[in-house]
Chains A and B, each alone.
Chain A
Amino acid sequence: MHEMSIATSILDIAEQSMNGHENLLSISVRIGELAGIEFEALEFCFKALKESSRYPDLTLEIERVPGRGKCKKCGTESPMREVFALCPECGQYGLEPVGGQELKVTSIEVE
């Protein structure tokens, strides 16, 4: 599943940012609900990666960003839980994501 590829990229980005420190303690990521990532799958894959990494204490801190959509038909902004959703205001399909698509490594903790 692609969460393994994402988890690998997260670890790669974190390692590139360690700036000479020896031990990676945690990686903080910001992931939107509409980013196309299955959170549990990501945690599972990350755990598997960590076992074979050099960082025994490594944790992954996930900040989830709720999805928000703007309706192309009536203009209302509302929470959006999935990529293909009905506008709660006018009941039509046509919600365009305006928030919750982030997929970022925000910071790392090292020692």
Chain B
Amino acid sequence: MCDTCGCGEGTTTIQTPAEAREHARMHEEGVEHSHDHGHAHTHDHDHDHHHTHEPRQTTTIDVETDVLQENNRLAERNRGFFQAKKIFALNLVSSPGSGKTTLLENTIKSLENEVTISVIEGDQQSMQDADRIEQTGANVVQVNTGKGCHLDASMINDAIQKLDMPDESFLMIENVGNLVCPSLFDLGERHKVVIISVTEGEDKPLKYPTMFSVSDVCIINKIDLLPHVEFDVEKCKDYAREVNPDITFFELSSTTGEGMDTWLEWVNPQRQE
């Protein structure tokens, strides 16, 4: 929703920083404008057959449709698109404040000479994150979910169309800060990467097992703060492995750079099969 004029209220908006600035300019200059909804829904039609019940003249129609079918269908479309264009797509999830955006900025700065990087930012409101990423030179689109608590496949499907991603490039999706809801919604990514920082509890994996079980990678961030907090890294890793024995860990500090080399080596799409 537009903060200034309230247009698009309750709907998702998907825009690049340049589009956001243009919109702000239109407000300043009092230019009339309207908003589209940012993404459209399409639905599959399902089969049905009728049988009637007496005496109320009501009809029961069999539906047998999975509720997340539409999201999963679009996620597979996204996945197919990424595979065809050899785009390495990651879905970054965490609680708010884990350091996702800083990690993204530093990952981009380190790899930008080797590969074209695009970013889809997800937040309830504001262009803050997209503006930060824009400063790094990467292509970015901001999805504002309004009241929504997670990104879904249709938002990614729409955002992709605003990003001109070349073949063999790298896409990072920064999901809405939330360790619960995003775990249910496949976006079509190659890997989910869950990020926790040492300022959070080491028992996070036990408290949010779903998210840890669907993530292939866990980044333990802000390790430069370890001397100041009571966080047992090995215990945290043990908890995570109980929920997901195959999870891969990276321990790093995106501000000091410690541990970033190992992460950058893994994440560099040049290295991926």
13 sample A-B contacts, Cβ–Cβ < 8 Å, listed by A number: A2-B181, A2-B184, A5-B181, A9-B70, A36-B210, A83-B210, A84-B206, A93-B242, A104-B64, A106-B64, A109-B60, A110-B59, A111-B58
Q: How far is it, in angstroms, between the C-alpha of A2 and the C-alpha of B185 when the chains are bound?
A: 10
Q: Is the interface of A mostly helix, strand, loop or mixed?
A: mixed
Q: Does B228 contact A (CB under 8 A)?
A: no
Q: Is the interface of B mostly helix, strand, loop or mixed?
A: mixed
CB neighbours of A105 from chain B (8 A): 63-65, 67
- Name the CB-closest residue of B to A6: B67
Q: Mark B55-98, 1 if CB is under 8 A from A, else 0.
A: 01111111111111111000000000000000000000000000
Q: Mark A19-58, 1 if CB is under 8 A from B, else 0.
A: 1010001000100000010000000000000000000000
Of B41, B50, B70, B150, the contact of A2 (CB 8 Å cutoff): B150
Given pairs A18-B61, A107-B61, 12 additional interface contacts (CB within 8 A): A2-B185, A4-B147, A9-B67, A12-B43, A12-B70, A13-B46, A13-B70, A84-B243, A107-B60, A110-B58, A111-B56, A111-B57
A: contact size bracket: 20 to 34
CB neighbours of A108 from chain B (8 A): 60-61, 63
CB neighbours of B181 from chain A (8 A): 1-2, 5
* Chain B residues proximal to chain A, CB less than 8 Å: 41, 43, 45-46, 48, 50, 56-71, 147-150, 152, 180-181, 183-185, 206, 209-210, 213, 242-243
Of A1, A9, A25, A106, the contact of B68 (CB 8 Å cutoff): A9
CB neighbours of A84 from chain B (8 A): 206, 209, 213, 242-243
CB neighbours of A29 from chain B (8 A): 67
Q: How far is it, in angstroms, between the C-alpha of A71 and the C-alpha of B149 when the chains are bound?
A: 33
